[in-house]
Structure 1
């Protein structure tokens, strides 16, 4: 999250200050290579190449000393393929919701959407059935029998949807409603990312003393408050107010990070620590992907509708501008400005609706957030360095492995 917080600031700085064209011209570089290197926005992505190399190097150098539970087993490639098929077809199907055509073809988008979502449902069911039958499944569905584990995944899914709405919706609002530039984008998105990082750090510290449920509940309520504040934005709102609303949401989202992760790994047990952590992360990414797909689908259909309204007839635009300007042609600067103001108001109303929906989705996360569980006293002892192996041995001696074949839940995770 700290790296994410730096992203908007660094990206805006690159776009605003990096001018590769002059350096390339001075070096005599032209042609296709110059076309690849010249646009400043490309360097926002190029910067990640050395960062990725450094991360890979550090991981390779440090991994021999990482302690992890290992056992013989097989990689469930077939199960992974079924899960992958479910994700791909489901997300594409959601993206096509509301579309009127597909890449200019005569194919009915509604029919394609129904088919894709049907394939996603069948693939998901197949992956679950397979997970219950094979010895080493890609994802063991029996993990979800644990209420804290399922709750952690659900909280991650729902808050991930809200996070995608906030980060994409905030950027679109600044760009299309406020007509802000790189500096405004940097302030707004930097506030969101920075507050998220602070919230995640704070949640990691206070779960030593505060039950997971209370930390998660505080984060969810803050997220809802931030989204409701964002739903009150208008075209006249200041960029500082935008940054404040995004910051409140980011702080709340960050506070939910540690509770949901801790609840999942505690419920899963030592053998499934890695799986539990991955499930929480994938659930968040899936929620973000669903949110992005819905935003894309809703945004594209709305843009098409507004375009049709303005250009339905040569004089259709007149109904959207002040009466005093209706004797002027469409390309008149005053008419263009009036249409931009109208478009700004329409975009603001669209984003308000999306923020309200995201707040409602986040509110659904309250019940599972209260079911995260976790034993505060034992968790504090684990965080303070009590040996996990001893607890696991005592648990096994007392009652053995669970009847479902999974390890007994761990009392905590040394973070």
Structure 2
């Protein structure tokens, strides 16, 4: 009993750190006007405050996961937590935009160090149904942190004042980090692997260059004009191909590419990339619509996202408990619920686009949040189910890198549609949001089609008439999702 309690206490420490790092993805959005006023930041500087964090976050996930697997997850976790806490303080103290961007780059890298250790420790500490519950708790944290970030940021700015309130968006991490560090030392398991595997520095370099080349055009899509930036995509793909060849020949590879032969891992990663491309873009466009289009303050705009956070938190906890029973069917059902909620959200903005829109979008956002809670944690549980414990950190790092890449692509694509509509209509922010929402719905439907594709093969393995009938029904549903995505 004591050992079981200690595992859950260790998980609580990991979840606190995960909450801080994910909160800083979304909390900064509502602080940007305050930062612009306080530091006289340019549009390019504001973009790098957001995108620089995302870029370095995604850059270090895989090597940090590998380092934790090969050495000590506790030591790497504590190093990342200490660096994140220190860089949060430096960001809050920054006297210029340049120093704030530098602090955000370090902060993003520290977040990338922390995140794969959390998933690796869940793989190490929990098995079976308990692992599903642990990932359910992580999923609830992801949903809450992403959706509550604007609300918390708005509250801090309202309390501390518009000009300097943005600094408290970063200062709030310091006491949390200082409390979590000694608890991490006491509760997280010490290293137990006898083998001290190599760290593959050439693989780290190749993957880093490839990730930067692929992600940079998306995170800088609005700042780098012209088509030249997209030449980085084939360059990045070529570097990643060289990385794959290197990893196959390396005696101790950073990423075990054999993982992608597992249907659960390969398709689970694809679902995560597609879903995060839509999931994070919702908050980006909705916050812009409310604040710029309708003149909402930071706090009311953040509060408008609360229904999504509540639905996601409750559903993720439930999803973690039942994922062992329903498997990928639960993920497909969650994606269908998200799609239904987003369609209702589109209709609400179509019917009531004025200042009271937040009241009419509350229920659709709640429905979409419930669906999201049934997607993120269960999908992560299933995706990592067949991964050996010793490689849990690096496997989680690859999965989370895919999520960060999906988020960057989704925000860039949805943002391009959004701002093009604003320019073409001379400021019709409601129409711009609806157009952006169609892109998001398409991405969610693509994730649903991938989930149904997995289900089709699973049910046909049942054999007999039952398997054939269920397989045909799932295939019909997958076709319907693809048609809806193409015509929407």
The counterpart of 2:294, out of the listed 174, 178, 182, is 178
- Residue 203 of structure 2 is aligned to residue 79 of structure 1: yes
The counterpart of 1:154, out of the listed 256, 270, 294, is 270
Write out aligned runs for 1:23-102 (5 A): 39-63=164-188, 65=189, 69=193, 71-95=195-219, 102=224
Paired residue for 2:382?
263
Greater C-alpha Rg? 1
Write out aligned runs for 1:117-128 (5 A): 117-128=233-244
Q: Distance in 2 between matches of 1:110 and 1:175?
A: 30
Which string of whole-angstrom CA distances, capped at 9 and with x for unpartnered residues, describes residues 214-267 of structure 1? 210111011111222222214235212223222222221121123222222222
Count residues in correspondence: 311
The counterpart of 1:109, out of the listed 215, 226, 234, is 226
Deviation at 1:127, TM superposition (A): 1.5
Which shifted more, 118-127 or 286-295? 286-295
Contact map agreement 1:211 1:374 (CA 8 A) in 2 = no
Paired residue for 2:359?
240
The counterpart of 2:326, out of the listed 179, 186, 211, is 211
Paired residue for 2:155?
13
Query: TM-score normalised to the size of structure 1?
Result: 0.67
The counterpart of 1:142, out of the listed 254, 258, 262, is 258
Q: Distance in 2 between matches of 1:96 and 1:54?
A: 36
Which shifted more, 199-208 or 1-10? 1-10
Contact map agreement 1:170 1:188 (CA 8 A) in 2 = no
Paired residue for 1:224?
339
Q: Distance in 2 between matches of 1:158 and 1:83?
A: 21
Counterparts in 2 of 1:363 and 1:19: CA distance versus 1, 3 Å? closer
Counterparts in 2 of 1:205 and 1:39: CA distance versus 1, 3 Å? same
Q: Distance in 2 between matches of 1:223 and 1:113?
A: 31
More helix by share: 2
Deviation at 1:16, TM superposition (A): 1.6
Q: Distance in 1 between matches of 2:372 and 2:303?
A: 18
Q: Distance in 2 between matches of 1:243 and 1:19?
A: 28
Counterparts in 2 of 1:296 and 1:361: CA distance versus 1, 3 Å? closer
> What's the C-alpha RMSD, in Å, of the aligned pairs?
2.8
Which shifted more, 215-224 or 178-187? 178-187
SS in 1 for 2:170: helix
Counterparts in 2 of 1:90 and 1:302: CA distance versus 1, 3 Å? farther
- Residue 323 of structure 2 is aligned to residue 199 of structure 1: no
Which shifted more, 144-153 or 284-293? 284-293
Which string of whole-angstrom CA distances, capped at 9 and with x for unpartnered residues, describes residues 256-313 of structure 1? 123222222222233322233333322222211222233454555566x45xxxxxxx
Write out aligned runs for 1:341-352 (5 A): 343=427, 346-352=428-434
Q: Distance in 2 between matches of 1:231 and 1:137?
A: 46
Query: TM-score normalised to the size of structure 2?
Result: 0.58
- Residue 439 of structure 2 is aligned to residue 357 of structure 1: yes
Contact map agreement 1:193 1:250 (CA 8 A) in 2 = yes
Q: Distance in 1 between matches of 2:203 and 2:216?
A: 20
Contact map agreement 1:96 1:109 (CA 8 A) in 2 = no
